[in-house]
């Protein structure tokens, strides 16, 4: 099992760990702990490097592998089992992913508060993403209002809080029930939550900024109808 350091500290850029296993098929390194996010929930996986002594190993991406994280190494060599390594994130990439993920939660929170409309899907790239909602109708005027509202939430500088709750406790929170927490597999006994204080609360495994002000200006760049009651919004952030 890999200890996931990013779950409680998304700003941890460097860490020390021990190589616990190697996957020869992918040239993937497993560590006893990591701050590399392996992707999931629409968020892009982290990249960076592992350093062992004077040798630097480029991590092209992290990838989930059961209850461990694979750090996929470029080239044909990787550090041996038992080696102490220093992990270093590609911070520019990670921080862009954090800003994007929090922006998506702002959008979700604003639309739920304003229209009572649920999310039906979504995906993220660095500094841009898309999200689908159960809208019947969506006009350009409404989209302009939504864009104004989401940027007001950036300006509001809402704190972003992360917590890890027992499953039974999490299941008593109405906002989490709304986000279909009941679909979590029964073996998951702890639920990580991300709260944009006063706006949005969701079960979430990804990385986020500390405050909505860090997101910066959000633009709604396009929208599409994906069905009678399904509309897609596209957003982009400033670099």
DSSP-assigned letters across all residues of 4-36: EGGGT-TT--EEEEEEEEEETTTTEEEESEE--
pLDDT tens string 96-121: 999 999 999 999 999 999 999 988 88
For the domain made up of 3-89, give the CATH fold. Answer: Elongation Factor Tu (Ef-tu); domain 3 (2.40.30)
Burial of residue 83 (CB within 10 Å: 0-12, 13-18, 19+) is middle
Residue the block writes with tokens 């592998």: 65
How do strand 3-4 and strand 33-34 relate by DSSP bridges?
Answer: parallel
pLDDT tens string 194-238: 999 999 999 999 999 999 999 999 999 999 998 888 999 999 999
Taking all residues of the chain, what is their mean pLDDT, rounded to a whole number? 94
- The reported pLDDT for the residue numbered 177 is 61
Phi, psi of 11 (to 5 degrees): -95, 5
Q: Among 41-55, 110-124, 141-155, where is mean pLDDT lowest?
A: 110-124
| Rounded distance between C-alpha atoms, residue 198 and residue 212, angstroms | 12
Q: Among 18-27, 170-179, 192-201, where is mean pLDDT lowest?
A: 170-179
Does the fold of domain 94-237 match that of domain 3-89?
no
Q: Where are the domains of the chain?
A: 3-89, 94-237
- At residue 180, does pLDDT exceed 90? no
Task: Give the model's confidence band at 93: pLDDT under 50 very low, under 70 low, under 90 confident, else very high.
Answer: very high
- At residue 87, does pLDDT exceed 80? yes
Higher pLDDT, 221 or 185: 221
- The reported pLDDT for the residue numbered 175 is 74
Model-level pTM? 0.95
| Rounded distance between C-alpha atoms, residue 119 and residue 203, angstroms | 14
| Rounded distance between C-alpha atoms, residue 194 and residue 47, angstroms | 23
CATH of domain 94-237: 3.30.980.10
| Rounded distance between C-alpha atoms, residue 171 and residue 168, angstroms | 5
- The reported pLDDT for the residue numbered 176 is 76
């Amino acid at each position: 099992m890999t200890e996931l350091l990013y779950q409680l500290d998304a700003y941890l850029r460097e860490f020390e760990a021990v190589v616990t296993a190697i996957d020869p098929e992918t040239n993937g390194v497993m560590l006893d702990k990591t701050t590399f996010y392996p992707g999931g929930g629409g968020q892009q996986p982290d990249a960076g490097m592992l350093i062992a002594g004077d040798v630097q190993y480029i991590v092209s991406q992290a990838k989930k592998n059961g209850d461990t994280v694979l750090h996929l190494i470029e080239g044909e060599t990787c550090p041996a089992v038992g080696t102490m390594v220093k992990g270093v994130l590609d911070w520019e990439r990670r921080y862009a992913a954090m800003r994007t993920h929090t922006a998506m939660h702002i959008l979700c929170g604003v639309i739920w508060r304003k229209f009572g409309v649920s999310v039906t899907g979504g995906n993220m790239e660095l500094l841009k993403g898309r999200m689908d909602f159960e809208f019947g109708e969506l006009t350009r005027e409404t989209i302009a209002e939504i864009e104004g509202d989401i940027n007001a939430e950036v300006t509001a500088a809402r704190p972003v809080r992360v917590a890890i709750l027992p499953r039974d406790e999490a299941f008593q929170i109405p906002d989490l029930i709304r986000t279909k927490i009941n679909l979590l597999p029964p073996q998951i006994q702890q639920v990580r939550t991300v709260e944009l204080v006063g706006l949005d609360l969701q079960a979430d495994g990804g990385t986020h900024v500390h405050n909505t002000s860090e997101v910066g200006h959000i633009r709604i760049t396009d929208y599409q109808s994906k069905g009678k009651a399904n509309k897609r919004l596209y957003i982009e952030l400033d670099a």
